[in-house]
Structure 1
C-alpha cells in the first residue's frame, strides 16, 4: 500500500515540506495508469516511474510548490519506489540551496535564475538547465468586504503598495479606509517579479511602505487579507491587499476577491493571449551532472514535461505554450 505523508509545519522561514514515499514499487495507485511505462511524448523517451528509485530533493518557489507537489504525488501514484521531498522556501532560498549548498536536485522558481546565481552554481560544478513547466497569473487580491476596488492600473498598484496609507490615496473615489499590505518575502520570486513589473526593479518603495507584513508563506498572506474585517461604510476598519500566485487565490476563492489589472481579468484566455499584465513563467532547474548521477531526477523531469499540462490547471495555474515545453523537452533529452 502506498503511503503519502504531507507535513506542513511553519518555522521561522515559513517553509513547507511534502514528503512522498512508497512502501512497495508495485502498489502504486491506478488513477493515472497504475505504474506501467507510459508512452513518450514531446520527443522524450517513455516514462516509467517503476524503473527508478532513490531520493529526489526538490526545493524553492512557494508558487511552484502546488504544481511540484501534484507532480510528485502523481509520479508516486505511477509506481515510483523512492522518496521525493518538495520544500517550499521561496525562489531565492531555493537557488541558495541549489547553487551554494548543493543540497537539492531540482530548484523550483517563479522567476528566471539570476546571473549571480548561475555563477554560484558553476562555482560548485553545477551548470543549471532551465525547464519551463507552466504559467502563473499573479493575483492581486482583497477580501470580499472590499466592494469598491475591482480594477487597478499598474500605476495605481505602485501607489497602493508604497506610499498610500488609505485607499483614497490610490483613487479619489475610494473610501478612506486604512490599507494593510500582505506581501511575499524578499526571498520570493513573486516579490522579485512584482518589483520588476510594477516598480521597474526598484524595491526601495515597497520595502519602505508602512503597514506591511512580509511572509514567504502564501497561506499567511491569504489569512491576513481575508480576515481584515473591511467595511467601506466604516472608515475605522482596515481594508487589506496582497498578491501571490494564482493557485493560492483559486484555493481560497471563497475568502478572497481578485482584482483586474489594466482592465484585464486573469483567465486562461488572457494569459494565453499575453494580455494580462502580470502573467509570468514558472520554472524547474536541474543540471546534466545531477541527472547523470541520479537517473531518478531525469525520470521525474521527463514525467513532469510529458504530463504537467494534465495537472497544471488542477492546481490553479495555466499551461506553458507547447513550443516552450517542446524546447524544455529538447534540453532534457540532451541531458539524459
Structure 2
C-alpha cells in the first residue's frame, strides 16, 4: 500500500510542473498614465479595426491624454500605403497580415521602418442579408463563391425554392483587408481558383457595388431583402435588428458567427485583427509607445463592447512581448 502511494505521489509531483508550465503566464507591460502623455498620434487603415482603435482612443482621452489622435478608415491596403510608402502614419490598422511587398516598402523608407505585428483581437466575418429576407439562413462556401462571382445571378440559382429575384451584391473594395480575406477564405476554395483568378471573379461580378466604408455596405443590405454583403462582426452587431447573419458551411457543418465559434475555430470566417507600428516611431514619439502599451492593456476590457472577440492569451502575450522588446524592456 505504501509503495503504491509513493508512486501516486511521485506521478503527481511530475505532472504538476508540466501542468503549471502549460498554463499561459500573462506578460506584464508597464502601467501608462495618460495624464502624463501628450502629442499627436496618426492612425490609418482597416475599417474593421477602426471601431476598436477608436474605442481605445476614446478611453485613452477619457483617462487624461491631452494630445490629438487621428484615425482614418481607409482599408488595410490604404493603411499600409500610408504607413510603408508615404511614411506619414504612426500606426496601421489591419484586418489581414502585412504583405511581403509592403514590408519591402517599409524598409525602403528613410529612415527604414520594420513593422511590428500586434494582434489585438479576433473577428468573425459576418455574411449578412436583410432581416426582411425570410428564405436564406445558411450558405456553403461554394454557394457563396458562386454568388460573388456572378455565376448565381438570382436567388433561385442558389436554391430552386428561393425567389427568382436578382442578387444584389455589396462588397468591400480592393484596398480592404476584408476583401483580401474573403478572396482567400471563400473565393479561392469555393471556385477552386488561384488567388488572381478568384480576385478577378469577384471584381468583375455583374452589378457588384463596392465601398471601403462598411457603413455603406450595411445601408445597402438594409435597403433590400435580396441584397447580400460581408463585413466585420462589429458592424453587424451594431445593426442586428435590421440585419441577419448567415450560417456558413465550409464542409464540416454549419456554423454561425459568435464568440464561441470564433474562439474554438469552428466558424470558418474567423480572422485575426492587428495594429502595426515600428520601434523607431515609438522611440521618436513616446506618445505612440504609450498608446500602444495602453491599447494592449485595456483591449480585452473594450473589445466585447465594440463587437469583436479577444485574441487568445498566447497571441496577446506574443503581441505584448513584441512591443516590450521593441521598447528595449
- State the TM-score bracket (shorter-chain normalisation): 0.7 to 0.9
Bigger helix share? 2
Indicate the residue corresponding to 2:274 in structure 1.
283
DSSP 3-state at the match of 1:314: helix
Match of 2:177 among 184, 189, 205: 189
TM-score, normalised to structure 2, is: 0.86
Cα separation, 2, equivalents of 1:300 and 1:322: 20
Query: Are 2:64 and 1:76 aligned?
Result: no
1:171 is displaced (CA, Å) by: 2.2
1:193 is displaced (CA, Å) by: 0.2
1:42 is displaced (CA, Å) by: 2.7
Indicate the residue corresponding to 1:170 in structure 2.
158
Cα separation, 2, equivalents of 1:290 and 1:172: 57
Match of 1:45 among 26, 30, 53: 30
Query: Are 2:148 and 1:157 aligned?
Result: no
Indicate the residue corresponding to 1:103 in structure 2.
88
DSSP 3-state at the match of 2:255: coil
Indicate the residue corresponding to 1:266 in structure 2.
257
Give 1:1-336 correspondences, 5 Å limit. Answer: 42-124=27-109, 125-162=112-149, 163-200=151-188, 201=195, 202-228=198-224, 230=225, 239-262=226-249, 263-336=254-327
1:220 is displaced (CA, Å) by: 0.7
Cα separation, 2, equivalents of 1:169 and 1:279: 27
TM-score, normalised to structure 1, is: 0.84
Cα separation, 2, equivalents of 1:172 and 1:65: 39
Q: CA-atom RMSD, angstroms?
A: 0.9
Render the CA deviation track for 1:170-225: whole Å, top value 9, x for unaligned: 22332211111010011000000000111223201111111210000111111111
Render the CA deviation track for 1:206-264: whole Å, top value 9, x for unaligned: 11111210000111111111011x3xxxxxxxx00000000000111112111010110
Contact kept, 8 Å, 1:42 with 1:306, in 2: the verdict is: no
1:284 is displaced (CA, Å) by: 0.1
Q: Could you list the runs of 5+ residues in structure 2 that have no partner in the other structure?
A: 1-25, 189-194
Cα separation, 2, equivalents of 1:215 and 1:129: 28
Aligned length: 287
Cα separation, 2, equivalents of 1:73 and 1:145: 35
Q: Could you list the runs of 5+ residues in structure 1 that have no partner in the other structure?
A: 1-40, 231-238
Moved over 6 A (4+): none
Cα separation, 2, equivalents of 1:186 and 1:142: 21
Structure scoring higher RCO (CA < 8 A, sep ≥ 6) equals: 2
Cα separation, 2, equivalents of 1:170 and 1:95: 37
